[in-house]
Structures are given as structure tokens and as C-alpha cells.
Amino acid sequence: MLVIVVYDVPADRTRIYRKLLRRRLEHVQQSVFYGELTEGQVTGMKNEIREKLESDDSVIVFEMGSSTVVEYTTLGDADEPGSRFT
């Protein structure tokens, strides 16, 4: 499934989530990660996120059944999402 994760956390905690999410997903912008994962991988990732959460942290995980039904447009100086793995 296609997964997009975004987070809004205090500056001193961004490295925690960046490190955790980079193990499974492509880092496409400051606090935005993108990639294809299995249901088990998503569950494991969510459990790891829950273990790290503090009261000021906000993490949103978007899950789509297939990347073929998601349309996106990249504007400006950015690589297409998913290009890191091709």
C-alpha cells in the first residue's frame, strides 16, 4: 500500500522521527515521507511512532490501497516521489 507520513513536532524532536521513518520510506520534504509498505510494515511503523510520541507531537499516516489511484503533481525543484528507489 502507498503510505504518506507527515509530522509536526518540536524542532528538537524532528531527528527522532526522521531517523525512524527513513528506515522504511523516502524523505521527500522536510517532514514528509512517502513509499510502498506492506500492512505489517505499516503496523510496525505505527507502533514505533506510538512509542516515541510525546504530548506536543503530531504525526499523520495516510494509507492508500494502491499508488495507481493517487495522482500528484510536483512543482518547483523537487524529484518525483518514489524516484529514489528507481
Question: Does 57 score more than 90 pLDDT?
Answer: yes
Of 2 and 82, the one with more pLDDT: 2
CA distance 50 to 74: 30
| Gap between the Cα atoms of 49 and 43, Å rounded | 10
Q: What is the CATH number of the domain that holds 37?
A: 3.30.70.240
Total number of domains constituting the chain: 1
Instruction: Report yes or no: 42 and 36 within 8 Å, Cβ to Cβ.
Output: no
pTM above 0.85, yes or no: no
In a domain, 23, yes or no: yes
Helix (H, G, I), strand (E, B) or coil at 7: strand
Choice between 21 and 81, residue whose per-residue pLDDT is larger: 21
Give the integer Cα–Cα distance in Å for 71 and 68: 8
Q: Which domain holds residue 12?
A: 2-77
Q: Which residues are CB-contacts of 68 (< 8 A; sequence separation ≥ 6)? A: none
| Residue 38 domain-assigned (yes or no) | yes
